[in-house]
Amino acid sequence: MSGALRLVLGDQLARSITSLADLDPARDVVLMAEVMDEVTYVKHHKRKIAFLFSAMRHFAEALRAEGITVDYVRLDDPDNSGSFGGEVARAAARHDLHRLVVTEPGEYRVLAAMRDWQDQLDVAVEIRGDERFMCTPERFADWASGRKQLRMDFFYREMRRDHDVLMEDGAPVGGKWNYDADNRQPPDLSLAVPPPLSFAPDAITDDVLILVGKRCADHFGALADFGFAVTRDQALQVLDHFITHRLPLFGTYQDAMIEGEPWMYHSHIGFYLNAGLLLPAEAVRAAEAAWHDGHAPLNAIEGFIRQILGWREFVRGIYWMKMPDYAGMNFLEADRTLPDFYWTGETGMNCLAQSIDATRRYAYAHHIQRLMVLGNFALLAGVRPDQVNEWFLVVYADAYEWVELPNVSGMVLFADGGYLASKPYAAGGAYINRMSNYCGNCRYKVAQKTGPDACPFNYLYWDFLIRNRPRLGNNARLGMIYRSLDKMAPERVAGIEADAAVFLASLDEMSADEHGRQQ
């Protein structure tokens, strides 16, 4: 057989990726391409683009060091066509190779395009499965078949059994599958959170930072103090650093938020898992080993493993089973424009301002900031799912549609009507106050329920439930909350609705002003 072109995408930077299996260095050429279509189909955070380009360039160097021919197309190469398809066509002609091997991508739109390449370009296309994950799409579909609602907890148990993770004689170690009840402590301000591992940019990263600063000047986000890992070796150091310094308290403070501490006790490995620099199985096994070594308590270890072996695999399964329809779902018929402050951070609500500031600086915010602050507000305010999804896809360096969309549309916005989550994760200001120290520095008063100084989350929470009663009133898990609403004095309900109407109208006005300024 003649040689093959092997396309490696920016989030497939694993030596074990299936497109590189059976590679023949004597005849095959690896193609990697920085293309404007991927940079701008949503205008990604500058830091995310810089991270990915630097990691791609380092990965290409590592392959070359093995004696593999890599054809690497840079964003500013004068003949760059700007698209994956265009670069495949140009490389096929350049190397006279008419067989393309590629691993399935992480986004439906790219897979749809790849499926057309065989007809559109002069190449025979072989699309291979992505074996980096711990659950295949077939295994997931098999588990999901016949279930009306999917629950992560049950899927996760199957994964624990399939991979024999934290199991003893067929039962979960410690006797319970889930230790979440121990993982909801408010922040302890007396503890010094260990600083994250950071890597000074080398010459490759410096070049990329200049390129992105120039070509993506109008994208959201900052490039200053770039410190992401950009090689597999560095990513392994981040994992090791997490296991040593953060994992022991990961569980206890998993939901806690502290002003000026965006990293908390989280692992910060999502960037690397999703780009291929780390494999999920190695993160799971490293945590399991820490249990056997007695290095960290079970609530931390089980909680961390559940995020990867449970949630990460679960959302991927849902994405591939439900696309393309999932992207268009809007069960709550939410129709408000995304407030402009999601981009500027200019809001008096300190919890949102803090979370947006971390996002702008680092292309990172941890799960509870995403879910219970940024997501919760969009849910309560009734923001359009397509705009919330676009924002979350743009701003985080770990965001790819397969993982972002189910989290936003399913977990946060309940846009799928309860397929992924049994009820919306809606909460008022009391939750944010309990889990953070944000409220002390806020212009709003978290203890106040109504009036111009009241925390907007307080009245928006009840207004959300009132507004959505026709769609949520029958949800068994909201029964108690709706019964409390029914016991509220009519004047209180009217006050809530009036406060919410004024606040939401002011949001709409701000968005309209901004829209006017941009035209």
> By the criterion CB under 6 A, which residues form the site for ligand FAD?
266-270, 273-274, 307-308, 311-312, 315, 366-367, 370-371, 375, 392, 396, 398-399, 403-404, 407-408, 411-412
Angle made by CA atoms 424, 429, 430, in degrees to the nearest 5 = 100
Cβ proximity of 223 and 47 under 8 Å: yes
308 interface partner picked from ligand DLZ, ligand FAD, ligand SF4, none, CB below 5 to 8 A per type: ligand FAD
Give the span between the Cα atoms of 519 and 516, in whole angstroms. Answer: 5
Query: Cβ of 170: how many Cβ atoms within 10 Å?
Result: 7
Give the span between the Cα atoms of 395 and 375, in whole angstroms. Answer: 13
* Residue 68 CB, nearest approach to ligand DLZ (Å): 17
* Residue 455 CB, nearest approach to ligand SF4 (Å): 3
What is the maximal distance between C-alpha atoms in the chain?
Answer: 79
Give the span between the Cα atoms of 470 and 52, in whole angstroms. Answer: 44
110 lies in the site for ligand DLZ, by CB under 6 A: yes
388 lies in the site for ligand DLZ, by CB under 6 A: no
* Residue 503 CB, nearest approach to ligand SF4 (Å): 11
Q: Which is nearer to ligand DLZ, 272 or 461 (CB)?
A: 272
322 lies in the site for ligand DLZ, by CB under 6 A: no
67's tokens: 């004696």
Residues between 400 and 419 that touch ligand DLZ (CB under 6 A): 400
421 interface partner picked from ligand FAD, ligand SF4, ligand DLZ, none, CB below 5 to 8 A per type: none
Name residues whose C-beta falls within 8 Å of residue 57's C-beta, 6 or more positions apart in sequence.
Answer: 72, 204, 208
Q: Which is nearer to ligand FAD, 125 or 432 (CB)?
A: 432
251 lies in the site for ligand DLZ, by CB under 6 A: no
The residues of the shown chain that bind ligand SF4, judged by CB under 6 A, are 349-351, 429, 432-433, 438-439, 442, 444, 446, 455-457
478's tokens: 């909201």
| Strand ordering across the sheet containing 5-7 | 69-73, 29-33, 5-7, 99-103, 124-128
Which is it for the CA torsion 281, 282, 287, 291, positive or negative?
A: positive
Site string for ligand DLZ, 9-28 (x = CB under 6 A): xxx-----------------
Q: Tell me the site size for ligand DLZ, rule CB under 6 A.
A: 16
Cβ proximity of 339 and 510 under 8 Å: yes
106 interface partner picked from ligand DLZ, ligand FAD, ligand SF4, none, CB below 5 to 8 A per type: ligand DLZ
Q: Which is nearer to ligand DLZ, 265 or 400 (CB)?
A: 400
Name residues whose C-beta falls within 8 Å of residue 490's C-beta, 6 or more positions apart in sequence.
Answer: none
Q: Which is nearer to ligand FAD, 383 or 403 (CB)?
A: 403
370 interface partner picked from ligand SF4, ligand DLZ, ligand FAD, none, CB below 5 to 8 A per type: ligand FAD
**Which segment (32-40, 96-104, 373-381, 479-487) binds ligand DLZ by CB under 6 A?**
32-40
Cβ proximity of 437 and 466 under 8 Å: no
Q: Which is nearer to ligand DLZ, 218 or 453 (CB)?
A: 218
Q: Whose CB is nearest to ligand DLZ?
A: 10
Sole binder of ligand DLZ in the list 28, 34, 130, 463 (CB under 6 A): 34
- The number of helix segments (H) and strand segments (E) in the chain equals 24, 7
Give the span between the Cα atoms of 128 and 96, in whole angstroms. Answer: 22
* Residue 238 CB, nearest approach to ligand SF4 (Å): 30
Cβ proximity of 385 and 415 under 8 Å: yes
117 interface partner picked from ligand SF4, ligand FAD, ligand DLZ, none, CB below 5 to 8 A per type: none
Q: Which is nearer to ligand FAD, 101 or 460 (CB)?
A: 460
Among left, alpha and beta (phi > 0; psi -120 to 50; other), residue 150 is: beta
Q: Which is nearer to ligand DLZ, 112 or 171 (CB)?
A: 112
284 lies in the site for ligand DLZ, by CB under 6 A: no
Report residue 510 CA to chain centroid gap: 28
* Residue 318 CB, nearest approach to ligand SF4 (Å): 30
Give the span between the Cα atoms of 15 and 128, in whole angstroms. Answer: 15
Q: Which is nearer to ligand FAD, 375 or 495 (CB)?
A: 375
* Residue 412 CB, nearest approach to ligand SF4 (Å): 17
Q: Which is nearer to ligand SF4, 311 or 457 (CB)?
A: 457
* Residue 250 CB, nearest approach to ligand FAD (Å): 7
Q: What amino acid occupies position 439?
A: C
Give the span between the Cα atoms of 391 and 385, in whole angstroms. Answer: 10
The residues facing 329 across adjacent strands are none
255 lies in the site for ligand DLZ, by CB under 6 A: no
C-alpha distance from residue 95 to each of 22, 33, 71, 72, 114 (Å): 19, 15, 10, 13, 20
Q: Which is nearer to ligand SF4, 179 or 462 (CB)?
A: 462
302 interface partner picked from ligand FAD, ligand SF4, ligand DLZ, none, CB below 5 to 8 A per type: none
465 lies in the site for ligand DLZ, by CB under 6 A: no
Q: Give the HSE-up count for residue 447: Cα atoms under 13 Å, Cβ half-sphere.
A: 1
Q: Which is nearer to ligand SF4, 88 or 426 (CB)?
A: 426
DSSP state of 247: H
Give the span between the Cα atoms of 193 and 332, in whole angstroms. Answer: 39
Give the span between the Cα atoms of 513 and 123, in whole angstroms. Answer: 50
Q: Which is nearer to ligand DLZ, 39 or 472 (CB)?
A: 39
Give the span between the Cα atoms of 27 and 61, in whole angstroms. Answer: 18
Give the span between the Cα atoms of 492 and 496, in whole angstroms. Answer: 6
Residue numbers of the site for ligand DLZ (CB under 6 A)? 9-11, 33-35, 38-39, 44, 49, 52, 105-107, 110, 400
